[in-house]
């Protein structure tokens, strides 16, 4: 709902007041919300993280890690980079798309209202996928969700490259909704399950740095593609090539904890 809400702020006031409204909302209200409702650890409330009460394995899926990885050790695993780059690629193309939303749709012969209308159905699909994905993440290996997310990225990007007012419009909605929902699941579940919670802050902090860098790069790539090459398709097809390459390696994105299972 954020793009629609922010666009309303801009249209009803100005872009300057839109920033001020957001600053007050985040700086005051959300800060108070965090202060009163956030907690550092489940144990602070007498709770146990999902799956840990059942031991290390459930339905042939490792839930509780055997080894607590350091950031240095985590970065030495191929799995770490495959999941990190997949999450970063989503951040890259979604920021590039959002920053150039109206322009991309105008290139495809559609107007501002049609452009902004994609976000509601995408969010509905995303929420449903997050709920289902969160449930089945305890039942199957996470690399299968990673592969589904990558396939969704390819579908969303190709739909964006050939965007029109029919099948590819809905292809983007479905593909991006799928990717967005699985992003939420994998970002939350992967790191504590694969690398433990002892160094979770360092590991997720490093991953977030990669994601933020990618999100900052996205708008620049889309802008250069349009202004220097005359079309957004060049940037989009370049991203498709990268995602397809990650798909090729993603079948090796196994949980590093399996190597330590026999030593327990």
Cα distances (angstroms) measured from residue 174 to each of 12, 101, 123, 124? 30, 17, 10, 10
Q: Write down the CATH number for the domain with range 58-263.
A: 1.20.1250.20
- Quickly state the pLDDT bin for 53 (edges 50, 70, 90): low
pLDDT single digits (tens) 213-253: 999 999 999 999 999 998 999 999 999 999 999 999 999 99
C-beta separation of 98 from 217 below 8 A: no
Picking from 6-10, 18-22, 55-59, which range would have the lowest pLDDT averaged per residue?
55-59
Report pTM.
Answer: 0.85
pLDDT in tens, 141-174: 999 999 999 999 999 999 999 998 889 999 999 9
pLDDT at 76: 96
| pLDDT on residue 136 | 92
Nearest in space to 173 (alpha carbons), one of 116, 240, 237: 116
Domain ranges of the chain: 58-263
Burial class of 85 by CB neighbour count within 10 A (0 to 12, 13 to 18, 19+): buried
Query: How does pLDDT run across 206-216, given as a tens digit for each residue?
Result: 999 999 999 99
């Amino acid at each position: 709902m954020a793009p629609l809400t922010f666009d309303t702020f801009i249209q009803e006031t100005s872009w300057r007041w839109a920033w001020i409204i957001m600053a007050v909302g985040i700086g005051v209200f959300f800060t108070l919300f965090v202060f009163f409702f956030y907690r550092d650890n489940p144990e602070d409330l007498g709770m146990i993280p999902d799956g840990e009460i059942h031991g290390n394995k459930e339905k042939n899926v490792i839930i509780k890690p055997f080894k607590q990885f350091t950031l240095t050790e985590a970065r030495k695993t191929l799995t770490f980079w495959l999941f990190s780059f997949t999450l970063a690629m989503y951040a890259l193309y979604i920021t590039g798309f959002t920053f150039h939303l109206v322009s991309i749709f105008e290139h495809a012969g559609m107007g501002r209202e049609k452009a902004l209308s994609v976000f509601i159905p995408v969010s509905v699909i995303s929420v449903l996928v997050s709920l289902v994905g969160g449930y089945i993440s305890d039942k199957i290996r996470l690399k299968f969700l990673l592969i589904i997310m990558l396939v969704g990225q390819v579908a969303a990007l190709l739909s964006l490259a050939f965007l029109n007012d029919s099948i590819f419009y809905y292809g983007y909605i479905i593909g991006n909704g799928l990717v967005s929902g699985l992003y939420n699941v994998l970002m939350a579940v992967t790191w504590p399950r694969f690398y433990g919670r002892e160094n979770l802050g360092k590991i997720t902090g490093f991953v977030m740095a990669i994601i933020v860098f990618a999100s900052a790069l996205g708008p620049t790539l889309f802008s250069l593609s349009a202004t220097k090459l005359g079309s957004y398709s060049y940037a989009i097809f370049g991203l498709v090539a990268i995602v397809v390459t990650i798909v090729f390696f993603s079948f090796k994105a196994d949980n590093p904890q399996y190597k330590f299972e026999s030593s327990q």
